[in-house]
Amino acid sequence: MLDTKSAVTVLTALAQGHRLEVFRRLVAAEPEGMAAGELARQLDVAPAALSFHLTHLGHAGLVTSSRQGRSIIYRADFSTMRTLLGYLTQDCCGGRPEICGDLSVWNAAEGCAPTRRTSKDVK
């Protein structure tokens, strides 16, 4: 569970446009993750600037990295995001979770988001 100081650290990391977009791209790139060079190209950000943002996200626990050959692959850390969302909704609506509606799914121990059904899922 996060404490207030840790929650502020995570939220601060996301409170910058490039870092928020990096995190969102990494979420979308799961489970494969994405190489730093590809992230820089997609976001039109200089590699040095991207490195700064990835380091900031990593210190906040939002991003992990692993070497694959000559590339470093970055991935979103869903456990940190789930923990943050759980922290933010822990006392949802004064102990009346029905008021929070779908926000309560973020407190689930498994999965990072509610399953979204598409027209392909309906048979």
Tens digit of each residue's pLDDT (9 = 90 or more) over 21-70? 999 999 999 999 999 999 999 999 999 999 999 999 999 999 999 999 99
> CA-to-CA distance for 86 and 109, rounded, in angstroms?
9
What pTM, to 2 d.p., does this model score? 0.77
**Could you tell me the CATH number of the domain that includes residue 3?**
1.10.10.10
CA 111 to mean position of chain CA atoms: 12
- 3, pLDDT greater than 70: yes
> CA-to-CA distance for 24 and 9, rounded, in angstroms?
18
Q: How many domains, the chain?
A: 1
Q: Which domain holds residue 115?
A: 1-123
> CA-to-CA distance for 12 and 16, rounded, in angstroms?
8
Cβ count within 10 A of residue 95: 7
Strands (E), the chain: 34-35, 63-68, 71-76
